[in-house]
Amino acid sequence: MRTNTRDIARAAVRAELAQVAFELFRRDGFDKVTLDDLASAAGVSRSTFLRYFGTKEDAVLGAFDGHDRRVADALLARPSGEDEWTALRRALDTVIERYHVDPAGSLETTRLVRDTPALCARHLEKQYSWRPALSEALAERAGAERPTLTQSVRAAAALDCLNVALDHWLASDGDQNLVTLLDEAFAAFTTD
């Protein structure tokens, strides 16, 4: 899939606006920052800011856009003989990859999201929408037309494992290994 220059420029502007927003939220607190504050800090009009992000929440949570598709694609790429639970665990590596690339930034983002009720609620809402993509990928791996109840439950449980692992990682101030925490969360469903 080719990306044109316009898309690249738009993505760069969006990333810059998101960074400005994040810094302002971190400094002043999410609830105290207005859309006008964000636009002013970024040196753009309010309408320009809103063209890139429909809400303040989207300025932070835009970093998670496309995760559902990346995880579903990773799930479909897993070996066909691999059991669904293991395949789900390994597919989530695509989500936690950014935590390895930028652990400090990821910790700050996770803390901002978890400590801000509006962001946390919106993030969980977005993540809830990942479940159908994961369930459908599990069904496709099994050669089925629709996901089974079991596949839907596994997709939901996998996302809960991710959230619990992230909560423990955040509580440790990033000292614990996120991969190990995620492995332990998944293992809780397979051990006695």
Is CATH 1.20.210.10 the classification given to domain 66-187?
Answer: no
Give every CB contact of residue 25 below 8 A, 6+ residues apart in sequence: 33, 56, 60, 112, 116
- Per residue in 83-108, pLDDT (tens digit) is 999 999 999 999 998 888 889 888 99
Distance, in Å, from the CA atom of 170 to the CA atom of 76, rounded to the nearest integer, reads 30
Lowest-pLDDT range, 65-74, 78-87, 144-153? 65-74
Q: State the pTM of this model.
A: 0.85
Give CA–CA dist 93/12, Å, rounded: 25
pLDDT tens, residue by residue, 24-45:
998 999 999 999 999 999 999 9
Mean pLDDT taken over the chain: 91
* Spatial distance between the Cα atoms of 103 and 122, rounded to a whole number of angstroms: 22
Tell whether the model's pLDDT for residue 192 goes beyond 80.
Answer: no
Determine the topology of domain 5-60 in CATH: Arc Repressor Mutant, subunit A (1.10.10)
Query: Over pLDDT 90: what percentage of the chain?
Result: 71
Which pLDDT value is given to residue 143?
Answer: 95
Distance CA 135, CA 151 (A): 6
pLDDT of residue 185: 97
- Using alpha carbons only, give the angle 44, 50, 51 rounded to the nearest 5 degrees: 90
Residue-level pLDDT at 191: 65
- Every domain of the chain with CATH number 1.10.357.10 lies at 66-187
The pair of three-digit structure tokens given for residue 97, joined into one six-digit string:
């990859």
The whole-angstrom separation of Cα 36 and Cα 45 is 8
Q: What pLDDT is stored for residue 40 in this prediction?
A: 94
Half-sphere exposure of 34 (CA within 13 A, CB side): 5
For 100-147, the pLDDT digits (tens) are: 888 988 899 899 999 999 999 999 998 998 999 999 999 999 999 999
Using the predicted structure, report yes or no on whether residue 171 has a pLDDT greater than 90.
Answer: yes
* Banded model confidence at residue 71, pLDDT cuts 50, 70, 90: very high
